[in-house]
Each structure stands twice: as C-alpha cells, then as structure tokens.
Structure 1
Amino acid sequence: MHKNGWRPFWAALGAALLVLLPLVGGTVLLTRQMVRTRIQTAQPQSGVPIQLPRAEHRMTLLLCTAGEQPGFLLVYLNAAQNSLNLLAVPGELTVPFNGETASLAHCYGAAGPARCRQALLEVLGLPEDMFYLALSPAVLEKTASRYGPVRVGFSGALTADELTETGLSAAVQSISAKEAHALLSGWDADGTLPPARRAAARAAVWESFFRQDLALLPATLPDALRASSAALLTDFAAQDYTLLGTVLEFLANNSALPHAEALPGAWDAKAGTYTVTDASRAAVQTFLSVSPASGNDASLREP
C-alpha cells in the first residue's frame, strides 16, 4: 500500500517536469538572446547602412520675386557637398531676348520666369536642369510669415554713406518678408543704389533667412509651396517638392552654412546696362562649388 501510494506522486512530478522544463529552457534561451542583443546594440554597428546623400540630391533654382520690380536669386543646394549657395542677380543684367538683348527685368515682364531661366542658361552657363520658381508678394509674405521676421544686417552689403542715404542702421535689425520686399523693390524702382549694391542687399536678406530657419525648412517649406502651387509660376513637378525637402533635410542635419553673394558685372550707368565679365563667370563657378581653375564639372557649359 505504501508502494502504491508513491505512484500518483511520481506521475504528478513527471507531468509537472514535462510542462516546466520547456518553459524554463525557453526562458533561459530568451534571456541569453536579449543579453546578446543588448551587447550588440551597445557596440558600434559597422554593418548598419547609414543614409548618405547621392549625386541626385542637388537642385539649382532661379527664384523670382514678382512685381513691377522683380527680384532674382539663384539658389544652389547640394547635399553631397553640404553646399547652400545663393547668388543675387541684378535685374539690369543684359541677357539675350528675341534675337536682341534686354535687361533680365524686362525679360521677366515680357515673357515670365521660364524665359528668364533660358536667358540665364545662355549667358551664365548654368546647369541645364535648373528649375524656376516665381512668387508674388502675397505668396512670398504668406510663405515666409510662418518663420517670423528675419534678423539681417546690411553693413556688409552697403557702405556707410549708402546706409545713411537709405536711412538704415549698421546694426542687425528685424525685418518681415513684406518689409524686405518693399524695401528691395523700392530701391530697384528708384535706382538710387548701383545694381550690385542692391543685389548684395537682397543676398544678405536671403542668406539671413536660410541661416536662421534652415532647421525648420525641410519639414515646412515644400508643403507651403505645394499649398500655394496654384499661385506659383514654376516648372516643379510633384516629385520636385519631395526632392527639395530631402536635400534641405541633409543640409540641415549637417549644419550647412548658407553663403550668399551678388553677381559681379560691368555697370554702365549712362546706358543702363549690366553686362557679364570674367568676374561674373568666376562667381558662378564659385556659386556652383566648382573651382574656376578646374572647370571640370560636367553640368557647366561655356556661355
């Protein structure tokens, strides 16, 4: 009887072990796997691919601010080079137009930004895949208002006498997009300042905008432009807004420093013409991050 009493005990013990052993074994294996995973995570992941910019992550853009006195800015974004370059172009620049020559501003008023793009390709040897984008003052103000006023100083663009003449201070000042457009277009209208000086002031404003708001632009600027697409004059396709955001994100993540200049040229005040010189071509090559001595970028053409 004593012997028979042990039988249920051993049967129950065997059944319990059959259930518990797989659970214990699985727990041990899972614990070892978790520890191994933590160790691997703590070590450098040399085999994990890191997203790097490719050759196609670049964009050249002619940005026009519309109106009776249009403004012109060339923008070059290159993620692989970590370049965010701006080149302000005077509206007086002489360009080919209808078999003759005319100012870039006249070209814009008569035929729009697409024709200005083509004229600049011819006279400055810019990349053939350059886009154009023209914003009215209202769209410009609406797009830029979300970022707040720009803090800009004009002392690097204008001389002390020119600052006094225009009523500006040498100190850094806050200026809204509406105020900046009114100021710059007003200077273009009265012609008090030489074209190169006005272009330098325009470059200073845009450089301050990109420098101040670069971290915000990748997530907001493409969507803002899409929302206003019906009011834009542009050759952007849907995927180009995505490309713009991608390139801006690379530049923001790598803390790219915007660099802005005014296009140099020969100004004939009597004739009212601003013509391309060797200094102009050198500035364009610098704008495109190409050494003037090398001239080996396949995207460049001789004018």
Structure 2
Amino acid sequence: MTINAHRRALLAAGLALPSLSFAAGEAETLRIGYQKSSTLMIWLKSRETLEKALAPLNVRVQWHEFTSGLPLLESLNVGNLDLTADVADAVPPFALAAGANLTYYAIETPSPTAQAVVVKQDSEIRSIAQLKGQRVAFAKGAGAHYLLLEALGEAKLSLRDIEPAYLTPADARAAFERGAVAAWVIWDPFLAAVQRQANARVLRDGTGLASYRRFYLAATPYAKRRPDVLAKVYEELRSAGTWIKQNPGPAAAWNAPLLGLDAPTVEAANARRTYQVQTVDAASLTEQQRIADAFAAQSILPRKVTVAQSPVWKPA
C-alpha cells in the first residue's frame, strides 16, 4: 500500500478516534498507539500501569491498536495520537518523508539477530551470493527490506540481481513453505516461528549490517507541552523491559496467547530482543539516515529526508 493510500485509510479511520478536548479540572487524555508486536506497551496496558502512574498528573490513558507501523505514525502526524509504542527502524523515515512532525522519544537497543534471511534446511543455498537469480520474499519498505539491501551489498549484489517478491509475512510464509521462493527475509516473532515450525535455516542475520532498533515516537507538540508525562511513561517502559528480560518464561507465557503462538516460540523470539529502553542516541539517528538514504536511492521513499532535523526528547 502506498503512503497516500495509507493516509486516505487513516483519515477515514481517524474519524472514529475521539478528539482531545477537556475543561479545567478534567483529566487530560494521553492517546497511545500500539501494535501486537508492542510487547512493553501491551505489558503496561494489561496491568493498567500507566493509568496508575499518570493519575497524579491528572492524565488518563486511551489505547488505539494498529495493524502496522506506518498507519500508526500517520495517525500521530494528523493529531489523532500523542505517543506511539515501538515501531521498526525502517518506519520513521517513511513518516518523515510524508512530512510528519514527530519527535524521537526513545529506543530499544540493537537486536540485530531478531531479523534474518532464511532458507529451507535442505536448501543448497549457503551464502547470500547464491541468491543471485533467485526469488526472495520480503515486505517492501520494512526493516527486512533494508537488511536485504545491506546483505546483498555485502555480497557485491543488488536487488537487480534477485527476483524480489514483495509479500506480507503471512503470504511470504506460505510461499516459503511451498517452495515458491528460495529465501525469506523476516523478523521476530515470525522468524522464531518459521525456525521452530518449519525448520528454517538462517542464512544471514543483521549482525554487522542492520541493528534493528525499535523506536518510540511522540507528536512534537505533545512532547513540548507534556515532558512530565513522557518522563513517567519512559520510566515505566524501562521497568517493563527489565521485567520481560528477567522473567523470560512467565513473560512468554503471558504474551503467547496475544500473538497466537506457543510460549517456547515467543521465548525464543524474546531472547533476541533486548527490550532495553534508552533515550535516542547519535548512533541510532545515524543509522536512521542510512536507512532513509538507502530507500531514497531505491525510489522507495518519495523524497530524501534529513533525520537530524527531527527533535529528540531527553529527560530533564
């Protein structure tokens, strides 16, 4: 789906989202967007942690679920959200290219093994170079797309040397299992699922190529107006990340039904994610620019963007 199509769909859907209006003395609403993959935010939501933490600030929380990252950031940009849960590192450049007024709020530290190029266990393909002339499945514009560009470049190849198959994770999994594609570039928990359930073999993960940071973003007007709220949410995200990593079994058992996967698969996926939340640093912004430049060079982004022009939130 194109950015313009996303925008039209979002604006239509956004009509159902309540507008923000409150009188003096009434609780202000913090509107948070999240996806099924937003483990830390969903953990906080399931325990009403933010509702309790923000009550002293006279702030209530409103949750909105999205199926993917780009519509989520579009909603942030048009004023229907104040804060987003984590999105993959390839998503913000698309929002910036569409003119989004967003603030980089926080990141999860790099998890490069949480996405990979996989082949079937009995495949004769043993290196990225052997993908030349082969059909490879991946989601266009996703972090997996960027990983593939970098992996091909490392092997002195480009997208012109393969046959791209732009597929959603569900369609790509089906094509992979029936042998319609030679390789699939995918992220967790889909990666863990295809490894455990279909005996897929990792050909190349993101180590040394693509860091796979997860970004949290805020609407810039809200970030400027309510830094106290952002500071409290940031504190709770850090605590949630610590709990998830220190309690892998219980965390997987809690999250598995929400993802429609078995607990061991979720635990395997979670082991590759750091869930370590920190403020946005120079290294993460530098990689954001590399991702944006790579997609612009492929004409996937409608225009070049300068990531450094976006504000970065820091706790007081």
State if a TM-score over 0.5 links the two structures: no
Which of the two has higher C-alpha Rg?
Answer: 1
TM-score (norm 2): 0.23
TM-score (norm 1): 0.24
